[in-house]
Structure 1
Amino acid sequence: MTNQISIWLGVILLGTVMLDFAMFGTEHMLFLGKKLFDLLEWLAFWR
């Protein structure tokens, strides 16, 4: 992956997070953060 591609992916990701905050509030990010933490624990188990 080149630097330009990674920068654009980061910009798109930040833009979608900001749009989600603006439209729906922070409840969705809290839910996704909890699920991400559960996924990381599950992956650590299989390591």
Structure 2
Amino acid sequence: MTNRIAISLGLILIAAAVIDIALFGDQHMIFLGKKLFALIDWVAFWR
């Protein structure tokens, strides 16, 4: 992956998060953050 592609993908993800927060509030992001933390913990257990 080149730097240009990585930066483009990063900017798209940040823009999607900003749009989601602007339209629906920050409750979705908090929920997803908690679920992501649980997933990382679960995957680390099986490692």
> Shorter-chain TM-score: which interval?
over 0.9
Segments of 5+ residues of structure 2 without an aligned counterpart are: none
Q: How many residues align?
A: 47
**Identity value in percent:** 60
Question: What corresponds to 1:5 in structure 2?
Answer: 5
Residues in 2 aligned to 1:25 and 1:40: alpha-carbon distance in whole angstroms: 24
Question: What corresponds to 2:39 in structure 1?
Answer: 39
Residues in 1 aligned to 2:33 and 2:11: alpha-carbon distance in whole angstroms: 20
After superposition, give the CA deviation of every residue in 1:9-29 in whole Å (9 maximum; x if it has no partner).
000000000000100000000
| Deviant stretches of 4+, over 2 Å | none
Question: What corresponds to 1:30 in structure 2?
Answer: 30
Q: TM-score, normalised by structure 1?
A: 0.97
Segments of 5+ residues of structure 1 without an aligned counterpart are: none
Q: TM-score, normalised by structure 2?
A: 0.97
Residues in 2 aligned to 1:7 and 1:41: alpha-carbon distance in whole angstroms: 28
